[in-house]
Amino acid sequence: MDKVKIGQIGLGFMGTTHYRIHNALPYAQVTAVADIDPVKRTGNISSVIGNIGNDDNSKGFDFSNVDVYADPLEMIAKADIDIVDITVPTPWHAEYILAALKAGKHVFSEKPLCRNLEEMNQIQAAVQASDKFFNCGLCVRAWPEYNYLYEQAKAGAFGKLQVANFRRLSPTTEFNLNWKNWYMNADWSGGAILDLHLHDTDFITYLIGIPKAVTSCGRNLNSDHGIDHVLTRYEYGDGTLVLAEGGWGAARSVPFEMSFQVIFEKATVRLEPSGQLKVYWTDGKVDTITIDTQNLPTGWHQELAYFDKCVLDGVTPDKYQTPQSVFDSYRVLCAERESVAQGSKTIAL
Ligand SMILES: NC(=O)c1ccc[n+]([C@@H]2O[C@H](COP(=O)([O-])OP(=O)(O)OC[C@H]3O[C@@H](n4cnc5c(N)ncnc54)[C@H](O)[C@@H]3O)[C@@H](O)[C@H]2O)c1
């Protein structure tokens, strides 16, 4: 196999982002697409908008050599593809993951994995029964600045981790042109706690481990949006103080922010809201870190380039995350949701 063949389900913000990333790799090609929107099926993606890294969508895609489907299940059944890449709104992740695994395809699904623990259990059983590769787009693990923090911390460069704060704050997407404004429907998106804050929950489990307990407070800013803003304390029972804040309630002109400050014994590492990564050593020296991303500038590029290469080479993907770690952090997130529902009760894991 010279190139892995990919079937892309969903041509919105993430779908068009993935489509471009796969096709820019020398060893991957999107050969089939499926979307329920007839306009996008013509290659016209001018309505697509996202929160960061927006491309020029005024220029459409050329689908003359691509199999185009209205029904994703038909694409899974008929198209000549190795990988099904799922980039539709969250309520449809489980159905397409299960169908693709059943059809013997490798599967990459965007996060959040699914809407609830019941669906997660079905996916976990199907992944365990399949000999195909499965991964979920928890891209922050692969995001260059976060990956730097992870690798240096694990190598012991900064000493013991003492206090960690993570923030992921978005302006409201209420006015965006996402499909049916689905992010603002809590029954579909799960609210900011599931859709947005999950990234930090997942990264914290990667960097520090699965906490013994979580305590979360959250609030709703608009009636049907679910939990729009959340603050969680992750308890490890050893004095390490770990906090994360996530929300999408800010006014529409507020810039998107993903940032962290992690205090270690020997240094404090900060991803500044401006995007600069800095190491402030306790002796007063400050390093500004530049990362050579090898033309894969974001976590989306890194995770997809890695997954496609694993499929090409027949090597089980285990860098960044495993299916088990995807299920583990999803359980932590569900405990946070439970904590908010019970008035900030501490939930043990
Ligand atoms: N990893 C990240 O950083 C990140 C960022 C943004 C979104 N996401 C995730 O990506 C997924 C998609 O989000 P988005 O922002 O691209 O949404 P979007 O609204 O921009 O696009 C959704 C697309 O799916 C299509 N669609 C809807 N239901 C469908 C169905 N049942 N079958 C086929 N096509 C269908 C729509 O027509 C639209 O083209 C979500 O799960 C979201 O949480 C991840």
Q: How far is the CA of 185 from the centre of ligand 1 (A)?
A: 13
Locus of tokens 């530049």: 290
Whether residue 116 sits in one domain with residue 153? no
- CB-based contact 112:35 (threshold 8 Å): no
DSSP structure class, residue 332 = H
88 and 41 belong to one structural domain: yes
For residues 103 and 77, the answer to whether their CB atoms sit within 8 Å is yes
Q: CATH number for the domain including 338?
A: 3.30.360.10
Which residue, 74, 101, 132, sits at the end of a domain? 132
Residue 304, in any domain of the structure: no
The tokens describing 259, both together, are 């940032």
Decide which of 132, 150, 184 is a domain's last residue: 132
Phi-psi region of 129 (alpha: psi -120 to 50; beta: other; left: phi over 0): alpha
Same domain, 21 and 123: yes
Say if ligand 1 is within 6 A of residue 248 CB.
Answer: no
Question: What residues make up the domain containing 90?
Answer: 4-132
Residue 54 lies in a domain: yes
- Classify residue 36: in a domain, yes or no: yes
Q: What is the pLDDT of residue 222?
A: 76
Tell me: do 124 and 52 sit in the same domain: yes
Closest CA to 272 of 254, 260, 280: 260
Residue 34 CA, closest ligand 1 atom number: 33
Nearest residue to 121 via CA among 345, 343, 326: 326
Mutate to test the pocket of ligand 1, among 88, 170, 203, 256 (most ligand atoms within 8 A of CB): 88
Q: Is 70 exceeded by the pLDDT of residue 53?
A: no
Same domain for 18 and 52? yes
Same domain? 70 vs 112: yes
CB 24 within 8 A of CB 3: no
Domain shared by 18 and 90, yes or no: yes
Are residues 107 and 226 both part of a single domain? no
Looking at the domain assignment, is residue 324 inside a domain?
Answer: no
What does the pLDDT look like over 99-154, one tens digit per residue?
999 999 999 999 999 999 999 999 999 999 999 999 999 999 999 999 999 999 99
Q: Same domain, yes or no, for 123 and 147?
A: no
Which of 87, 108, 132 terminates a domain? The answer is 132
pLDDT over 80 at 174, yes or no = no
The CA 227 to ligand 1 mean position distance, Å, reads: 20
- The 10s digit of each residue's pLDDT in 223-277 is 677 899 999 999 999 999 999 999 999 998 999 999 999 999 999 999 999 999 9
